[in-house]
Protein backbone atom coordinates (compact mmCIF):
# COMPACT_ATOMS: atom_id res chain seq x y z
CA UNK A 1 0.00 0.00 0.00
CA UNK A 2 2.87 2.39 0.75
CA UNK A 3 4.21 2.04 -2.78
CA UNK A 4 0.81 2.98 -4.17
CA UNK A 5 0.75 6.12 -2.03
CA UNK A 6 4.27 6.99 -3.12
CA UNK A 7 3.32 6.48 -6.74
CA UNK A 8 0.18 8.55 -6.28
CA UNK A 9 2.19 11.27 -4.54
CA UNK A 10 4.72 11.19 -7.37
CA UNK A 11 1.99 11.61 -9.93
CA UNK A 12 0.51 14.48 -7.93
CA UNK A 13 3.86 16.31 -7.82
CA UNK A 14 4.30 15.66 -11.53
CA UNK A 15 0.81 16.92 -12.22
CA UNK A 16 1.38 20.05 -10.14
CA UNK A 17 4.60 20.80 -12.02
CA UNK A 18 2.78 20.33 -15.29
CA UNK A 19 -0.05 22.61 -14.17
CA UNK A 20 2.43 25.33 -13.20
CA UNK A 21 4.07 25.16 -16.63
CA UNK A 22 0.75 25.48 -18.45
CA UNK A 23 0.33 29.17 -17.66
CA UNK A 24 1.13 30.29 -21.21
CA UNK A 25 -1.08 27.57 -22.64
CA UNK A 26 -3.94 28.70 -20.41
CA UNK A 27 -3.42 32.27 -21.65
CA UNK A 28 -3.39 31.06 -25.25
CA UNK A 29 -6.55 29.06 -24.62
CA UNK A 30 -8.29 32.09 -23.08
CA UNK A 31 -7.25 34.27 -26.04
CA UNK A 32 -8.57 31.65 -28.47
CA UNK A 33 -11.85 31.39 -26.59
CA UNK A 34 -12.25 35.18 -26.67
CA UNK A 35 -11.91 35.15 -30.49
CA UNK A 36 -14.61 32.52 -30.95
CA UNK A 37 -17.74 34.40 -31.94
CA UNK A 38 -19.61 31.84 -34.01
CA UNK A 39 -17.76 32.82 -37.20
CA UNK A 40 -14.03 33.37 -36.54
CA UNK A 41 -13.36 29.82 -35.35
CA UNK A 42 -14.80 28.35 -38.57
CA UNK A 43 -12.14 30.01 -40.70
CA UNK A 44 -9.25 30.73 -38.36
CA UNK A 45 -7.52 29.22 -35.39
CA UNK A 46 -4.29 27.91 -33.89
CA UNK A 47 -2.11 25.13 -35.27
CA UNK A 48 0.66 23.42 -33.33
CA UNK A 49 2.74 21.07 -35.44
CA UNK A 50 6.02 19.25 -35.31
CA UNK A 51 8.72 19.84 -37.92
CA UNK A 52 11.50 17.54 -39.04
CA UNK A 53 14.44 19.67 -37.83
CA UNK A 54 13.22 18.45 -35.17
CA UNK A 55 11.10 21.11 -33.62
CA UNK A 56 7.78 22.91 -33.36
CA UNK A 57 5.76 25.19 -35.61
CA UNK A 58 2.98 27.29 -34.09
CA UNK A 59 0.70 29.27 -36.40
CA UNK A 60 -1.92 31.58 -34.91
CA UNK A 61 -4.38 33.36 -37.18
CA UNK A 62 -4.75 37.05 -36.35
CA UNK A 63 -7.22 38.16 -39.02
CA UNK A 64 -10.31 39.62 -37.38
CA UNK A 65 -8.61 39.98 -33.97
CA UNK A 66 -7.26 43.00 -32.12
CA UNK A 67 -3.74 41.75 -32.94
CA UNK A 68 -4.26 41.89 -36.71
CA UNK A 69 -2.49 45.26 -37.09
CA UNK A 70 -0.33 45.22 -33.95
CA UNK A 71 3.40 45.60 -34.55
CA UNK A 72 5.62 42.64 -33.68
CA UNK A 73 9.40 42.63 -33.41
CA UNK A 74 10.79 39.53 -35.08
CA UNK A 75 12.72 37.14 -32.84
CA UNK A 76 15.54 35.12 -34.40
CA UNK A 77 18.09 32.92 -32.72
CA UNK A 78 20.41 30.59 -34.64
CA UNK A 79 18.56 30.82 -37.96
CA UNK A 80 19.91 31.92 -41.33
CA UNK A 81 18.53 34.69 -43.56
CA UNK A 82 15.84 32.31 -44.83
CA UNK A 83 14.93 31.34 -41.24
CA UNK A 84 16.42 27.86 -41.49
CA UNK A 85 18.06 26.54 -38.31
CA UNK A 86 21.85 26.72 -38.24
CA UNK A 87 22.26 25.07 -34.82
CA UNK A 88 20.37 22.58 -32.66
CA UNK A 89 19.23 25.39 -30.33
CA UNK A 90 17.08 27.65 -32.54
CA UNK A 91 14.01 29.89 -32.45
CA UNK A 92 12.21 32.15 -34.90
CA UNK A 93 9.00 34.09 -34.23
CA UNK A 94 7.43 36.59 -36.60
CA UNK A 95 4.12 38.01 -37.79
CA UNK A 96 3.40 37.72 -41.49
CA UNK A 97 0.20 37.76 -43.55
CA UNK A 98 -1.96 38.22 -40.43
CA UNK A 99 -0.43 35.19 -38.70
CA UNK A 100 1.88 34.79 -35.75
CA UNK A 101 4.37 32.15 -36.81
CA UNK A 102 6.69 30.69 -34.21
CA UNK A 103 9.15 27.89 -34.82
CA UNK A 104 11.88 26.43 -32.70
CA UNK A 105 13.77 23.35 -31.69
CA UNK A 106 12.04 20.55 -29.80
CA UNK A 107 12.57 22.29 -26.44
CA UNK A 108 10.97 25.58 -27.51
CA UNK A 109 7.20 24.98 -27.64
CA UNK A 110 6.48 26.76 -24.37
CA UNK A 111 8.84 29.61 -25.30
CA UNK A 112 7.13 30.09 -28.68
CA UNK A 113 3.74 30.36 -26.98
CA UNK A 114 5.23 32.58 -24.23
CA UNK A 115 6.48 35.07 -26.86
CA UNK A 116 2.97 35.23 -28.30
CA UNK A 117 1.44 35.75 -24.84
CA UNK A 118 3.98 38.47 -23.96
CA UNK A 119 3.13 40.28 -27.22
CA UNK A 120 -0.57 39.82 -26.53
CA UNK A 121 -0.31 41.34 -23.04
CA UNK A 122 2.00 44.29 -23.77
CA UNK A 123 0.98 47.35 -25.79
Q: What is the pLDDT of residues 94-120, one digit of tens each?
A: 999 999 999 999 999 999 999 999 999
Q: Look up the pTM and report it.
A: 0.81
Average pLDDT over residues 51-63: 96
Domain count, the chain: 1
Region for residue 49 given its phi and psi (left: phi exceeds 0; alpha: psi -120 to 50; beta: otherwise): beta
Is 40 contained in some domain?
A: yes
Domain with 113, as residue range(s), is 23-121
The whole-angstrom separation of Cα 86 and Cα 54 is 12
The whole-angstrom separation of Cα 114 and Cα 10 is 27
Q: How confident is the model at residue 123 (pLDDT cuts 50, 70, 90)?
A: confident
Is 29 contained in some domain?
A: yes
Is 92 contained in some domain?
A: yes
Is 2 contained in some domain?
A: no
Is 113 contained in some domain?
A: yes
Amino acid sequence: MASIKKSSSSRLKSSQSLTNSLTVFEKLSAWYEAQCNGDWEHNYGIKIETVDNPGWLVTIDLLGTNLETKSFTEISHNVDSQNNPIATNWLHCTVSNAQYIGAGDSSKLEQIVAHFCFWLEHP
